[in-house]
Amino acid sequence: MVLLTNIITISACVYLLSGPATLNILFYPFSKKHLCVKVSDYIVKRSAPLLFAVLKCYKHFKLSFTKENFEKLPEQFMVISNHQSLFDIPVFMTFFHDYDVRFVAKDNLSRHIPLVSEMLRSHEHCMIPRKGGASTAMRTMENFSKRVLAKNQIPIIFPEGTRSKDGSLGKFYSAGFRKISESTKLPVVVCCLDGGYKVNDLRHIMENISHVDYKCKILKIYDAPQSKEEQVKILEESEKLMNDQLNAWRSE
């Protein structure tokens, strides 16, 4: 029975995702600002929710969203969150379904990942170059900040900088958060998610997908920080809030 449901799940996912992925690959070289954007919009608004519906139906995959603070969200804001898996991207796209979200990520995601890479590039997410040093990274984030402000988009940044393999909270790095905060002057929404570390690579996806309850919650909303000291305070408090929330979830 497990083998059968695995085959059905994989087949359904391939059916749902192969078309948009192929179209994006074909369209990107000559129409990345038009046709590719339309396909990417479809991926975000339709493919991601359908993917989770398939996983829920056949593998009992759960999305447990707590939306008690959504009515308090300002018109535009930036999000900081912990980071556990590539699934975090479609999870946040679904969690903030009514908003136009944009991620800060390493540029290795913008190449050779079907469905994801062309979508990240055509939607102009912030792809941080692995080469070029701090000055290149800061310039990339400054240009990204100008775009999200102009287009009323929601920037999402993971201060850990890399995915947690065991779900524990890693060290927070302040440079990226501070640069986007300074450049956008947006309120800061602190989120926490859990469950993604169980499906952070292909082997674990096949082994653990039926045991995942992917949680996501808004922990606190801060006014836009006005100084470096306020930025540091928000980041320090956010780390504690996320750690406390992870411990609370896992003690249930």
The pLDDT, as a whole number, for residue 249 is 96
pLDDT value of residue 31: 84
Alpha-carbon span 95 to 194, nearest angstrom = 13
Neighbouring residues of 163: CB distance < 8 A, sequence distance ≥ 6: 83, 84, 85, 86, 88, 196, 197, 200
What is the mean pLDDT of each successive set of 10 residues along the chain, which is 252 residues long? 74 83 85 87 88 87 91 96 92 94 88 80 90 87 96 96 89 93 97 91 71 93 96 96 96 86
Q: Tokens at residue 35, please? A: 């046709």
Q: Where are the domains of the chain?
A: 2-251
Predicted pLDDT of residue 95: 95
pLDDT at 218: 98
d(CA 178, CA 183): 8
Whether residue 218 contacts residue 224, with contact meaning beta carbons closer than 8 Å, is answered with: no
CATH architecture label of 2-251 = 3-Layer(aba) Sandwich (3.40)
> What was the pLDDT predicted at 34?
87
Flag whether the pTM goes above 0.85. yes
Q: Report pLDDT for 202.
A: 62
Determine contact, residues 85/196, Cβ cutoff 8 Å. yes
